[in-house]
Amino acid sequence: MVYLKEDAQTDFHFALKSNRKVALSREDKLAGRYVPVSTLSPEADVTREIWLAGVDFPLLLVVQVFTNKDKSQGVISLVTSDTALSASQIQAIYQKRWKVEERHKSVKSNASFARSPTKTVRTQSNPIFACLWAYVKLESLHLKTKGNHFALGGRLYRAALESSRLRRAQQAAPPQMPGRLFFYSPLPRTTGEQRRVCLRVERATEKICAGTHTSS
């Protein structure tokens, strides 16, 4: 925070953890009187000046109450180093920043950005490019289907598992005896893709049996 404000000459905006302790005045800071931010009562569209340990300049705090999809309520404490902003401006800036956080989380979780085993800059370039490309593909699917990245990632993962099972079933199909053209599949024929795979395997089995008859 000190680097951004004093060295980089820029302001910052972020959310405080509920157990973070703040001082409500410079005098409280000098006297070491800090209180957890979770004890502050939320007030709509009201900013208050606070001080943090190790930071020699004041910050603005907005305690915002929001409603989740399950109708439960949550509280978030937003702070900024720009003391000229209003409460609504701080909230609007954080909402824009949160969209960036959602995309970063998607790249990390859905594209496995954090799972790269590489250690050097040269070897890291390919996994980073692959993760970014995977994110672009997910975003393209999101624009077409309106589904979120995590739901789309789950559907793609299940489809990959199903495709793998179908290929293993096709490769592990037992040899057919002449005159008994049947196909044994450990998978239920419930989807169109499974039926198409079964049909291709049955046709291949018929060709094998036909070749057996000819050779005999």
Q: Where are the domains of the chain?
A: 2-109, 113-147, 151-215
Residue 146 φ/ψ, nearest 5 degrees: 65, 15
Largest Cα separation within the chain, whole Å, is: 101
pLDDT at residue 52 tops 50? yes
Q: Rounded to whole angstroms, how far apart are CA atoms 110 and 105?
A: 8
Instruction: Rank 42-51, 79-88, 119-128 by mean pLDDT and report only the highest.
Output: 79-88
Q: Rounded to whole angstroms, how far apart are CA atoms 216 and 211?
A: 9
pLDDT tens string 111-169: 878 787 888 888 888 888 888 888 888 888 888 888 888 888 788 778 888 888 887 87
pLDDT-derived band of residue 100, with 50, 70 and 90 as boundaries? confident
pLDDT for 183 equals 45
Q: Rounded to whole angstroms, how far apart are CA atoms 144 and 36?
A: 45
Q: Rounded to whole angstroms, how far apart are CA atoms 107 and 149?
A: 9
